[in-house]
Amino acid sequence: MTTHLDTEVQLSFDPWALERCYLVADILYNDFDAPYLEYALLGLSTESNPLHVVATPLLPGQRVTSATVEQPGRQVLRMRREIEMLSKRMRQQLLPITFIHRHPAGCDASPTDDAFIRGVFVDQVATIVSFKDATVVETAEHRSHCPEMQRHFRESSLGGRRLVRLRSEVGLAFSLIVNRKREHRLYGVRKRTCASCGRDEVDYIPARLAQDSHCWISSLDRALLRRRLEGEIRAKISFKRGSDTAEGIQ
């Protein structure tokens, strides 16, 4: 897939997939006496449309406190098997693109959130979801930050300045933070591999969540979804009411 990533990226959600994110926050607050405990869901998109989330399963085997979400290694394998099962059920290959979790009040990312999305999460996602992005590079030595490009320029018989359009592999990952008030903040990061030297760079990109105003979920349907989610929470979340106070993810 080819895209241009210097402008705002719009991530869309299937309305039911997004509703799950908000309902889990409300269920934990009202039904599980866990108003301040974290939780995590994984936003899955498709190969044909990687910027549209169609499913949001809770991470299996997650251990949560008021500040952290932990998932043991064996549960990561269980998550992969669940993605495979969902892919067969939906008859299309699903890919992880978004990490979703709750904050008790505002939806600003914490330092731990920042480290997670820019590190472990984008590294894992970038190996699965990748784009081709065209980058214009000015090859004058003092204008290029790439050591390999600087060497190429010095050895070039052309000299002077010239513009070169390079195509590089780019991985995208998103973090969606919600709360029970149905507020949200979406953060997007890009991992770009230099086409010349192979060095990776990770930076934030402008991103927003597309709102679908054409789908209305009835009270009855929401109640049925809520009941299913209560069972999923019991099966997948282990509550550890610890002494952690820092907001974030592990």
pLDDT > 60? residue 102: yes
Distance, in Å, from the CA atom of 247 to the CA atom of 230, rounded to the nearest integer, reads 24
Q: What is the mean pLDDT of the chain?
A: 79
Question: Around 159, how many Cα atoms within 13 Å sit in the side-chain half-sphere?
Answer: 1
How far is residue 68's CA from residue 240's CA, in Å, rounded to a whole number?
A: 10
> Residues with Cβ < 8 Å from 126, sequence gap 6 or more?
171, 172, 173, 191
- Confidence band of 7 (pLDDT split at 50, 70, 90): confident
Q: Report residue 249's pLDDT band, with 50, 70 and 90 as the boundaries.
A: very low
pLDDT band at 129 (very low <50, low <70, confident <90, very high): low
Domains and CATH numbers, the chain: 9-134+169-239 (3.40.140.10)
Query: pLDDT for 43-101, tens place per residue?
Result: 999 988 989 999 999 999 888 887 788 887 777 788 889 999 999 999 999 999 999 99
Asked if 83 and 96 touch (Cβ cutoff 8 Å), the reply is: yes
Q: Say if residue 203 is exposed, middle or buried (CB neighbours under 10 Å; 0-12, 13-18, 19+).
A: exposed
Closest CA to 229 of 95, 54, 57: 57
Take residue 80 and report the two structure tokens written for it.
Answer: 């992969």
Banded model confidence at residue 221, pLDDT cuts 50, 70, 90: very high
Cα end-to-end span (Å), the chain? 32
Share of the chain above pLDDT 70, in %: 72
